Amino acid sequence: MSNIANFLSKDAIACNLACPDWKSAVREAGRLLVKEEIVEEAFIGKMIGYVEEFGPYIVILPGFALAHARPEDGALKTGISLITLTPPVHFGHEDNDPVSIVVALASSEKGEHLECLGDVVGLISQKEKAEKILAAITPEEIYRLLI
């Protein structure tokens, strides 16, 4: 079992959302963090702002975006949310578009952020795992794949 169970709840997962663009996808993932009281509302705008400022570097692997902002941007604790997108959404990344899985990551402490990030990336980078996540139709299914 990975550490992800410490950071992810079933209620922070949503499947097959139809988002018209990347901002709306990041907003949906952020909304789940707000609902779980992991971040303040302002955190969502910051996640979008960093992409506008620094470019779509958050699409770190083909099909996978890791939306995040800094601890001081309104993170109340450490946690993640995960959404799958149907159809996939373009973020403007030259190699890794289009995106089907968005994870939003918040952490209240910098060290934890890295640990959690590593766990998530380790899992999603397994091709077979990512395919199963995409094929899942309920949050419970995805949750079981991740913990």
Partner 1 sequence: MLKKEIVIQNQTGLHARPATAFVKFANGFQSRLLILYKDKEIDAKSIVSLLTGGIGSGASFILQAEGSDEEEAITKAAEFLESLQD
CB 39 within 8 A of CB 30: yes
CB of 137 to partner 1, least distance (A): 27
Report if residue 86 touches partner 1, rule: CB under 8 A.
no
Report if residue 128 touches partner 1, rule: CB under 8 A.
no
Query: Number of residues in contact with partner 1, rule: CB under 8 A?
Result: 20
Report if residue 106 touches partner 1, rule: CB under 8 A.
no
Q: CA triplet 26, 6, 2: central angle to 5 degrees?
A: 95
**Tokens 């907003």 belong to residue:** 27
Report if residue 127 touches partner 1, rule: CB under 8 A.
no
Is 90 labeled as catalytic in the residue annotation? no
Among 5, 10, 41, 125, binds partner 1 (CB under 8 A): 125
CB of 127 to partner 1, least distance (A): 11
Report if residue 92 touches partner 1, rule: CB under 8 A.
no
DSSP state for residue 20 in the 8-state scheme: S
Report if residue 113 touches partner 1, rule: CB under 8 A.
yes
Radius of gyration of the chain from Cα atoms? Answer: 14
CB 57 within 8 A of CB 95: no
Identify residues 38-67 at the interface with partner 1 (CB under 8 A): 50, 54, 57-58, 60-61, 66
Smallest CA-to-CA distance from 2 within 101, 132, 113, 123 is with 123
Among 23, 115, 141, 147, binds partner 1 (CB under 8 A): 115
d(CA 57, CA 6): 26
